[in-house]
Homo-oligomer: A and B are copies of this chain.
Amino acid sequence: MSQQQENVKIAGCSFSVHPMSDDFKEKIKGALEKIDTSKVWMNTDEVTTTVRGDIEHVFDVTRAVFLRVAETGVHTALNATFSVGCPGDSEGDQYTGHKEKPENGLWDLDQYTGAKFSLYPMGGGNYMDVIYKGIERMKESGIEVSEAHYATKLSGDTNTMFKGLEEVFSDTEKSGSSHTVMTVAMSANSPSQERGNK
């Protein structure tokens, strides 16, 4: 299939999930076993896990890993860098063009989370406008939004937040940003959270 026919840029995410408990290995392994990763390319090394594929599948797998670890109840942190259009990106490890919808579900899982995200539309242009528009859309999606240094702070339902973040990321890419990066830090079940799970 030619590049033109395909017409889909490979997206990806490099993430790490941190269950803060002595049995962190079992918690991560247990989460991964329950997740459908058949629609992404996936690789784990000592620092992060990388998933590559269509934007919707990349977000679906990352969301499911975080939810599966967080539902064990331990304090869980996720750090994720989503990327599409990186000029240094290899052509390998592609896995795009799936017609199927993501399969991981878990949409009925109530999980409160605090988060910070930053959007980096690379390659020049009036990128601050894209960022401010993205922040407005997060507010409209029902997530509490506040300012922080170097990031926008979010709090609310994990699934709603992931949907909003995926929308921001997709819209930035569609708006003409040739290389879009979004970083997300999430923290669930934190002892310092003011609100617990609903």
Seen from chain A, the residues whose Cβ lies within 8 Å of a Cβ on chain B are 12-14, 16, 18-22, 24-25, 45-48, 50, 52, 75, 77, 79, 81, 83, 86-90, 93, 114-116, 118, 120, 122-125, 127-128, 131, 148-151, 153, 181, 183, 185-187, 190-194
**Across the two chains, which residue of chain B brings its CB closest to A149?**
B50
Give the distance in Å from the alpha carbon of A173 to the alpha carbon of B36 in the complex: 42
CB pair B20–A149 under 8 Å, yes or no, is no
Partner of A19, one of B12, B20, B47, B115: B20
**Across the two chains, which residue of chain B brings its CB closest to A151?**
B14
> Which of A18, A47, A151 has the most chain B CB atoms closer than 10 A to its own CB?
A47
With contacts A22-B21, A183-B81, A183-B183 taken as known, whether A116 is within 8 angstroms of B149 at the C-beta atoms is no
**Across the two chains, which residue of chain B brings its CB closest to A21?**
B22
Min distance, Cβ A77 to any Cβ of chain B, angstroms? 5
**Across the two chains, which residue of chain B brings its CB closest to A117?**
B47
B contact residues around A120 at 8 Å (CB): 120, 122, 181
Give the distance in Å from the alpha carbon of A22 to the alpha carbon of B50 in the complex: 27
B contact residues around A183 at 8 Å (CB): 81, 183
Partner of A149, one of B52, B87, B115: B52
B contact residues around A20 at 8 Å (CB): 18-22, 24
